[in-house]
Amino acid sequence: MKKQKVLLAAVSRTPIGKLGGKLSRVAPAKLGAHVLKAAIRRAGIEHLSWIDVIAFGHTLQSFFEPNTARFSAFNEAHLPASIEAYTIQEQCASGMKAAQSVYDRIASGEAELGIAVGVESMSLAPLIIPGQHRYSEVSKQALKRFKKLKLFGPLPFFGLAESGLGPLALARDPEALNMIKTAQIVADLMDVSRPEADRFALLSQQRALSHRQRLALEIDAMVVAGVGLVSEDEHPRFTDLNALAALKDQAGTGVVTAGNASGMGDGASALVMCTESMAEKLGLTPLAEIVDFHFSGRHARSMGLGPVNAVTGLLTKQGLSINDIDYFELNEAFAAQAVACLKRLGIPVEKVNHNGGGISLSHPLGMSGARIIGAAAYEMQVDPSINTAICTLCVGGGIGGAALLVRYRN
């Protein structure tokens, strides 16, 4: 069967709120519903029955919103119940993996129109009590006083709860959760210094602050109860090299600081994808063509170099070289990690993240993989010299993901 061409028809994202900021009380399903409705409006989809599939990437999932995609599409956005909606979790790659899933459905001819969403509320990461604790001596003693708490077996003592961002038992392990240590490992491997990392972080902040009008093209503002209209990203900040150099390093790393690492935040991004015939039916000019995806693994301790594997594999599949690519969106998990990838791949910083990245905009885990695809597509719209773009990110656990976009020509 001939592979269908997959077009990016429309993009919408929320402003990105900082941890505990303006979007901190907005549930993930509501963030997702906002961009779903906005993206449908931007694509001019008059008949919702045309939508074949909706895939969400969401890292910090909770059964308060079971199957975030379905809960968001049906319960919050009130889309037709006939639309399949499912949720994917692949750490930082969740949003990109959702995009690949919809891409595969359309490329194979199984669907004509689909929407991928990346979403995260890091502010609302649930408190979690590991199931093993329900049988601990602490729980047994506490439950002697609360004998009615027997639903689903004995419930553990609430004081044992940990953040859904990750259990303390794994927090020091760079093969599991300690991403700070992995950034230092990569910095050591690629000889990235603290001044290099700080200069990259400053550039990210400067680009985001000076290109707010460009970023506004992607954003659909939200009205938040008790807050008002939220229309701009909350995380970018004014700083300088002296202020960055004065920050204490984290976890004894020497290079990684709060100033040159990505922030935690809240937000959602939606990508409408379709076939050429559906684009004609909708009467729209696509933002870009999505050509391919590639994911690959490496050791978890050097997960920050995941983009090197993913980009190299993607270029090999397509018979391209790094010099064939005009623009890159590289998610900035850490400045040290981003600089290391640029060094290893031989990419000049002038071709990367024109409008900031994870350091300045922050890195809502499930959102970022979808956000960078939308960002690259809009950069192609404003810069006619960009005909090819790669979006890539590293992923906790030792994975790299990459997507290739080209300028659409009918």
Per the residue annotation, which of 34, 235, 354, 363 is the catalytic one? 363
| Residue 274 appears among annotated catalytic residues | no
Q: Of 274, 341, 391, 394, which residue is the catalytic one?
A: 394
- What DSSP element (H or E) covers 37? helix 28-43
Is 78 a known active-site residue?
no
Query: Among candidates 233, 256, 228, which has minimal Cα distance to 332?
Result: 256
Phi, psi of 94, rounded to the nearest 5 degrees? -55, -45
In angstroms, rounded to a whole number, what is the distance separating the alpha carbons of residues 34 and 220?
A: 8
Q: What are phi and psi of 170, to 5 degrees?
A: -105, -5
Cα end-to-end distance, the chain, whole Å: 21
Residue 92 CB partners (closer than 8 Å, separation 6+): 59, 331, 333, 363, 365, 368, 369, 393, 394, 395, 396
Cβ atoms of 368 and 60 closer than 8 Å: no
- Return the DSSP state at 21: S
How many other CB atoms are there within 10 angstroms of residue 175's CB atom? 15
Q: Is 228 left (phi over 0), alpha (psi -120 to 50) or beta?
A: left
Q: Which one from 58, 92, 235, 341 is the annotated catalytic residue?
A: 92
What DSSP letter does each residue of 261-274 carry, written as one string?
BPPPEEEEEEEEEE
How many CA atoms, within 13 angstroms, populate the side-chain half-sphere of residue 7? 21
Token pair, residue 201, equals: 């972080």
Residues 123 and 17: beta-carbon distance below 8 Å: yes
What is the spatial distance between Cα 26 and Cα 266, in angstroms, rounded to a whole number? Answer: 9
Contact in structure between 27 and 121 (CB atoms under 8 Å):
yes
Instruction: Name the phi and psi angles at 95, rounded to 5.
Output: -65, -40
Distance CA 369, CA 121 (A): 15
User: Strands, E, within 220-343: which ranges?
Assistant: 222-224, 228-230, 265-274, 288-297, 327-330
Burial class (CB in 10 A: 0-12, 13-18, 19+), 153: exposed
Can 341 be counted among the known catalytic residues? no
The residues that are catalytic are 92, 363, 394
